[in-house]
Amino acid sequence: MVKESRTQGHHIDAFLEMLSAERGAARNTLDAYERDLKDFAGFLSTRDRALDAATARDIRDYLEGLTAQGLSASTAARRLSALRQFHGFLFAEAIRKDDPCGSIEGPRRARPLPKTLTVEEVDALLAASRLAEDGRTQEEAVLAYKRARLVCLMEVLYATGLRVSELVGLPLTAVRGEERFLAVSGKGGRERLVPLSETAREAIDAYLPLRTIRLGDHVSPWLFPSRGRQGHLTRHRFAQLLKDLAVAAGLDPACVSPHTLRHAFASHLLANGADLRAVQQMLGHADISTTQIYTHVLDERLKELVQTHHPLAKKGKVS
């Protein structure tokens, strides 16, 4: 069993290495695949079967077990995706002579509308982030730095719609000079240019001098440095700051997250006439179908245009 376990670990490591080297998969993606594969390997161990010897029946039983545990269809679909790619890799590398996932149908998923925020709610969050005043004591200076950092994070996030990992991992070089665009390295190493609003640029300009004072002689390549292992502010810490900000703004913290602000960015752009393709590029979606989840915003806008401007609407004949 020890030798078999080592072999399974070797196959998983080789698969993850391929994803990283050939597809540019992010660390978070690799960690998720590793967790999913190890969970499936644990399931197989109860049947005394190795990971590279799984059958289609094993995979179906595993998925049914996930449903019985009360896990969502989206979670089951994600784990099946990991299994499909892993077994496709084993087949391509001639480790297996067949692919047991070939006949497996994925769980049916209803595509929910993205959770977002209204313009007024975003305005309340931005206003709450500016409440603190610059201080004179050391403690107040730290508070001023943290507040300027929070304002900068909020303004840049709402102005660009970055993924939270892209935001907290911005290099300092991304905002040097008078550039009105951010060069962002997104999923799969794909780079894109995202325009900065004037308020976001002002927030950056206000934050940078305080960042320099705060760091002193320490040199950091990150826009939002931290003493943690990653060297920059973590996604988890920013999410915590955002929850606190929601409370200060009088909003339900359960409804506010970095991703809801990303959704708000896209929804508000489309509601104000932006082109879907342009929003796709700014969000960094590889496929337009991913961006089309926001078309409910366009539907509402079209209804409003018809009700406002169509001649029959004025006579009460359009519904």
Q: How many C-beta atoms lie closer than 10 Å to residue 271's C-beta?
A: 15
Distance of CA 50 to the CA centre of its chain: 33
Dihedral over Cα of 40, 44, 46, 50: its sign:
negative
DSSP H helices in the chain:
2-23, 27-45, 56-68, 73-92, 119-129, 138-160, 164-168, 198-215, 235-248, 258-271, 276-283, 288-291, 295-309
Instruction: Record the tokens describing residue 266, joined without a space.
Output: 């896209």
Catalytic site residue 11?
Answer: no
112: helix, coil or strand?
coil
Q: Which of 60, 237, 259, 301 is catalytic?
A: 259
Instruction: Record the tokens describing residue 6, joined without a space.
Output: 């080592």
The contacts of residue 42 (CB under 8 Å, 6+ apart) are none
Please tell me the distance from the alpha carbon of residue 289 to that of residue 292, in angstroms, as a whole number.
Answer: 5
Q: How many C-beta atoms lie closer than 10 Å to residue 265's C-beta?
A: 22
Quick one: which of 91, 95, 57, 61 has its CA closest to 76? 61
Q: Which of 79, 147, 149, 262 is catalytic?
A: 262
Q: Which of 33, 62, 207, 294 is catalytic?
A: 294
How buried is residue 3: exposed, middle or buried, by Cβ count under 10 Å (0-12/13-18/19+)? exposed
Q: Which of 87, 163, 263, 268 is catalytic?
A: 163
The three state secondary structure string of 171-201 is EHHHHCCCCCEEEEECHHHCEEEEECCHHHH
Catalytic site residue 277?
Answer: no
Catalytic site residue 163?
Answer: yes
Q: Which of 47, 146, 187, 201 is catalytic?
A: 187
Catalytic site residue 285?
Answer: yes
Please tell me the distance from the alpha carbon of residue 213 to that of residue 223, in angstroms, as a whole number.
Answer: 14
- Which residues are part of the catalytic machinery? 163, 187, 259, 262, 285, 294
